[in-house]
Amino acid sequence: MSRLGTLGARLYRGEVGYDFVAKRKIWYGISILITITAIVGLAVRGLNMGIEFSGGAAFNTPATSVSADAAKETAESSSGHTAVVQKMGDKTLRIQVSELTPEQSRKTQDALAKKLGVPTQKINTDIVGPSWGDEIANKAWQGLAIFMILVVIYLAIAFEWRMALAALIALIHDLTITVGVYALVGFEVTPGTVIGLLTILGYSLYDTVVVFDGLKESAKDITKQTRFTYSEIANRSLNGTLVRSINTTVVALLPVAGLLFIGGGFLGAGMLNDISLALFVGLAAGAYSSIFIATPLVADLKERDPQMKALTQRVKAKRAAQSAKADSAQDDQETTEDEPQDASPAGVVGQRRQTEGRKGKRR
């Protein structure tokens, strides 16, 4: 068995472990800092919405030697709006300009054809109306809201409302970080981005549900024992699935990293950037939240229950009694070791003399 497998087995048996729950305030602080950074980035820079949401036109050129910067300058000067240019792997260009009227689109198409030295009909133009973009955005928000509601209902039925609330907070945490990264990086938000966001919600819930399932099983009849508090049992469940969570996350991140850095970066596949960035950031954030946010938050909420408070007091009282008993036994041992070496033999001799004296009287 590999070292990682051995470590996983030891973590599962509780032989070793890291106290994630006890240090939850540190993880909360880190998450709040990251979330604030994401929100500030979103407020300052905003999202670069694609034409599918804002409306506009997309121009697809044939293979050309014209640089992306030159094509961008031509599109912006002819349209009067900011253009986004993506260089594709086959030396073609995709130029997107938001909020264009049909007349402005034709003017921009003619300018690009002249710049590239090709006939106008060689520039494929896709025009998206703003009403269609608004409809797509509304459908995306509706799908996200329905997904959240169904997740909360399912977790509340399968586990309990505290776990459902913790999972919901972890999901919002992951989505906020992913959207904030999109704003900071400046990647365009497309339907592919929405697909990526909806996909990471499932990945984010996967590790969380695995830990919650183990915690539910371990916490059964928890009030009938006085060995562990709820937080300690939650930490043991988290450590038991830690290696599994790390393995699944790494295995999922590797192909996504290939899509992002190789497919999107070197091959110039624009749609891959939109999906892979959402998946990469979301998977990493989901693994973090399932370990450092969801389970510690459940322990926090559960420890406020009167039964769990009473259990914690019993566990502390039992440990205090055991500690006092151990200290007393240690003090007795130290006292015995400090006594003179001839004390016991002298007592024995005294007893023997007393016996001999009695025997002498009988005689």
| pLDDT for residue 137 is more than 90 | no
**Packing angle of the helix pair 191-218, 270-289 (nearest 10 deg):** 20
Q: How many other CB atoms sit within 10 Å of the CB of residue 74?
A: 21
Model pTM score: 0.73
**pLDDT digit string (tens) for 35-90?**
999 999 888 888 877 777 777 888 888 888 888 888 888 888 888 887 878 777 66
Residue 277 makes CB contacts below 8 A (sequence gap 6+) with 181, 182, 185, 187, 193, 196, 260, 264
- Whole-number average pLDDT of the chain: 79
Q: What letter would DSSP give residue 97?
A: E
DSSP symbols for 252-312: HHHHHHIIIIIIIIIS--HHHHHHHHHHHHHHHHHHHHIIIIIHHHHHHHHTTSHHHHHHH
Residue 46 near residue 56 (C-beta atoms within 8 A): no
Q: How confident is the model at residue 188 (pLDDT cuts 50, 70, 90)?
A: confident
Q: How confident is the model at residue 28 (pLDDT cuts 50, 70, 90)?
A: very high
Query: What's the topology of domain 56-128?
Result: Alpha-Beta Plaits (3.30.70)
Higher pLDDT residue, 231 or 193? 231
Query: What's the topology of domain 19-49+132-312?
Result: Multidrug efflux transporter AcrB transmembrane fold (1.20.1640)
| pLDDT for residue 361 is more than 70 | no
Residue 144 near residue 267 (C-beta atoms within 8 A): no
Distance CA 56, CA 82 (A): 11
| pLDDT for residue 362 is more than 50 | no
| pLDDT for residue 32 is more than 90 | yes
Question: Which residue pairs, CB below 8 angstroms and at least 24 apart, start in 129-138?
Answer: 129/55, 130/54, 130/55, 130/99, 131/55, 132/52, 132/55, 133/49, 133/51, 133/52, 133/53, 133/54, 133/55, 134/53, 136/52, 136/53, 136/191, 137/53
Question: Residue 177's closest CA among 297, 286, 254?
Answer: 286
Higher pLDDT residue, 53 or 266? 53
DSSP H stretches of helix in 58-190: 68-79, 102-116, 130-158, 161-185
Residue 239 near residue 17 (C-beta atoms within 8 A): yes
| pLDDT for residue 338 is more than 90 | no
Lowest mean pLDDT among 33-37, 202-206, 354-358: 354-358
| pLDDT for residue 327 is more than 70 | yes
**pLDDT digit string (tens) for 207-218?**
788 888 888 888
Lowest mean pLDDT among 98-102, 115-119, 332-336, 358-362: 358-362
In the chain, the percentage of residues whose pLDDT exceeds 70 is 82
Higher pLDDT residue, 82 or 309? 309
Cβ burial, residue 168 (10 Å; 0-12/13-18/19+): middle
Residue 120 makes CB contacts below 8 A (sequence gap 6+) with 109, 110, 113
Q: How confident is the model at residue 12 (pLDDT cuts 50, 70, 90)?
A: low
Residue 79 near residue 108 (C-beta atoms within 8 A): yes
pLDDT of residue 103: 81
Domain ranges of the chain: 19-49+132-312, 56-128
Average pLDDT for 252-260: 82
Higher pLDDT residue, 261 or 34? 34
pLDDT of residue 26: 92
| pLDDT for residue 344 is more than 70 | no
